Amino acid sequence: MERLNWHIDNINCAACTARIEKVLSRVEGVTEIVVNPTTARARIVYDPQLISEQDIASRIERLGFGVRREQTEQETHRYSLRGFLIAAAATLLLLYLSMFAHMLGFPVPAFLDHQQQPLNFAVAQLLLTAVVLLIGRRFYSSGFPALFRRAPNMDSLIALGSSAAVLYSLYALLMLAGGDHSYVDQLYFETAAMIVTLVMLGKFLEERAKNRANSALSGLLELAPDTATVLRDGVERTLAVSEIVVGDTLVIRAGERLPVDGRLIEGNSFVDEAYLTGESMPREVQAGDSVYAGAINQAGFFRYTATEVGAQTLLARISAAMEEAQASKAPIARVADKVAAVFVPVILLIALAAAALWLLAGEDIAFALRVFIAVLVIACPCALGLATPTAITVAMGKAASLGILIKNGEALEAAAHIDTVVIDKTGTLTEGKPQLTALLCAGGVSRAQALGWAASLERHSEHPLAAAILAAADEEGLSLAEPQEFALLPGLGLAAKLEGRAFVLGNQRLLEQNGVAVDEKWQRSAAELQDQGATTVFLAADGQLLALLALADRLKEHSAEVIARLKRDGYKTLMLTGDNLRSARAIAAQAGVDELVAEVLPQQKLEQIAALQRQSAVAMVGDGINDAPALIQANVGVAVGSGADIALDAADIALIGNDIGGVARVLELSRYTLRIIKQNLVWAFCYNIAGVPIAAGLFYAFGGPLLNPIFGAAAMSLSSICVVSNALRIKTFKEQ
């Protein structure tokens, strides 16, 4: 399967997206099609053996839409402020001439007086209206072709409504030219001009708001610099970032942004990675540390080797994932999509039916025309279509600023319904790096001797505990010896000769097999350390017990706070780990989780998640590698990663960095976003349910006023602006 992520031109409302999705979903070879009206971006998954990329593009173009591989300035600013101001000026002159002058007694030139020169009066209105219609011509170039293709959209309603007003006014102008001056009061040019101008204003404001919603992705893409200083053949050269290759040495000075991912080889500094982790405090880096494109070098000078360039940098991968996510839809959007697919044709029928009924009731054609236009222009599928995708787009941008990457709209919505949070232990709640926490020595054996012997024995071991012992010896500056006859004993430990003595290092069973007695005192000490969450290792030589080492994976600094917050917010918490029960119980107590399940294999973790899902919606939080089956099985999988090791494939949501505080933040953000979406949908549905009957003359039938089409156009524009503005409130989200 191949995947496309295209920008689509001329998307004006939810009816447009529904049309594209409906047509392409029926095409053989297209397995998935999602179009986001907020970003005008389409995600298409297809089988290249059944249909080509060119064929898909041509099918979209035959529907009246353009296809672009990359976003353009033209697409970003479809409605210009300059054009609107000219149209507004022409409309104000038109209103002055047609209404204000003779209604309020304002002066007008004699040759434009509506009583003395009615034909001149009508022609002047026609010319001013023509200016407005010319500027707003995209409503007609999009609306009428869509209508002729039997796939009307929002532009079709605007085009029909304003054209009806213009055509009737042209008829009145012809009657005036024939000498029937009674038609001077039957001109509706100002109605057409006001409709187009007000909708242009609404679209301009709506577009600005949508661009603000998309600002997170565009801002992310601008983080990487265009050029960089590269050291080649001993000479510093300024090159375009696209020319950098893996292995290049880059020179970074204070205040500069990093162009690619890499590893420091010289110098040290502090780098600002707030865009990546959401953490405002800079990170100290030195030789051997990894750094990432887009980060800012705050102080000092360093050189680093490029390890990932171009599309492989973490910044590029995050940008690609965000772009993919913004092309997705949440399940809640399906309701609006179903309505939008039939909305415009239904509105057309209602407008025609309302006009016909008023004609049958005895009203004149001018009255029926007014009702017809009002119904067309007050209807707003835009608000309905924007209600969900705009909120999701803003929420994903906000999440990115907090160091959280959400893969799609489905994950965001699912996170709002979670009630049980399952968390892995190693590398998630804990640091994931065992450390030497205690060393008990037999009489006559010093700490330096015991640690030196243990580290020397572990020199050739790849066990995680070996790394902790070697790190402790290195910190204390101990010199190590070379072991002889080294033997790794799976499930027990290791054995080797050192300084002419036969050493063993491992668990109690290993000592017993080698005839080393472990008395009650040593056993009690080992049990106490294990109850504190440590793994214990015995050291013996020539049948004599020399020392007991305790190694533990420490709880992360804020883990207990995060668990407490989750419990305060009403979530049930459970720690799921493959570690032994005694160690796991100690960490669970320190973290404060509600329940513990230990000594489970990866497949058993999946089974545990499945069992929990029978009673609740489950979020699984893990490192994204060993926990992959459970992450996929959970309603929402949250990967806690760091840098380039982020587990984007297995999880629905990724925390960029090791701070699990993002779990509480993303769950709270998802609930807030879903609340905003529901507010938007209620507003959009209620607006149309109330607005259309009023425009059709419901109030007038019971002695009330008849809605002026101009007010209908204003209300329609205001509806879309309200929905988008409400979604933008997500940008101000602050965790409780």
**Which residues are catalytic, by number?**
424
Are the beta carbons of 717 and 203 closer than 8 angstroms? yes
Q: Which two tokens stand for residue 315?
A: 């910044």
| Paired strand residues for 540 | 504, 545
Query: Where on the phi/psi map is residue 496: left (φ > 0), alpha (ψ -120 to 50), or beta?
Result: beta
Q: How far apart are CA 50 and CA 659, in angstroms?
A: 45
What residue spans of 557-660 are helical by DSSP H? 559-568, 581-591, 602-613, 628-633
Q: What are the phi and psi torsion angles at 102 (to 5°)?
A: -85, -20
Question: What CA–CA distances, in Å, run from 693 to 186, 344, 381, 424, 698?
Answer: 25, 15, 16, 56, 6
Closest CA to 539 of 472, 580, 494, 499: 494
DSSP 12: -
> Helix, strand, or coil here: 6?
strand
Q: How far apart are CA 207 and CA 375, in angstroms?
A: 24
Q: How far apart are CA 675 and CA 190, in angstroms?
A: 40
Q: Which residues contact 281 (CB under 8 A, 6 or more apart)?
A: none
Question: What CA–CA distances, in Å, run from 713 to 29, 372, 583?
Answer: 41, 13, 68
What residue spans of 26-137 are helical by DSSP H? 53-62, 73-76, 81-95, 101-104, 118-135
> Helix, strand, or coil here: 444?
coil
Tokens 């191949």 belong to residue: 2
Q: How far apart are CA 431 and CA 66, in angstroms?
A: 51
Q: How far apart are CA 619 and CA 637, in angstroms?
A: 6
> Helix, strand, or coil here: 547?
strand
| Paired strand residues for 201 | none
Question: What CA–CA distances, in Å, run from 296 to 237, 317, 325?
Answer: 20, 18, 26
> Helix, strand, or coil here: 150?
coil
> Helix, strand, or coil here: 353?
helix
Are the beta carbons of 424 and 460 closer than 8 angstroms? no
Q: Which two tokens stand for residue 33?
A: 């099609």
Q: Which residues contact 484 (CB under 8 A, 6 or more apart)?
A: 496, 497, 498
Strand segments (E) across 477-600:
484-489, 493-498, 501-506, 535-541, 544-552, 572-576, 595-597
Strand 636-641 to strand 618-622: parallel, antiparallel, or no bridges (unpaired)? parallel
With 0-12 CB in 10 A as exposed, 13-18 as middle and 19+ as buried, what is 324? Answer: middle
With 0-12 CB in 10 A as exposed, 13-18 as middle and 19+ as buried, what is 252? Answer: buried
Q: Which residues contact 718 (CB under 8 A, 6 or more apart)?
A: 202
Q: Which two tokens stand for residue 89?
A: 């000026």
Closest CA to 221 of 9, 402, 397: 397
E strand or H helix at 364:
none
Q: How far apart are CA 323 and CA 336, in angstroms?
A: 22
Q: Which residues contact 182 (CB under 8 A, 6 or more apart)?
A: none
Count the neighbouring beta carbons within 10 Å of the beta carbon of residue 395: 28
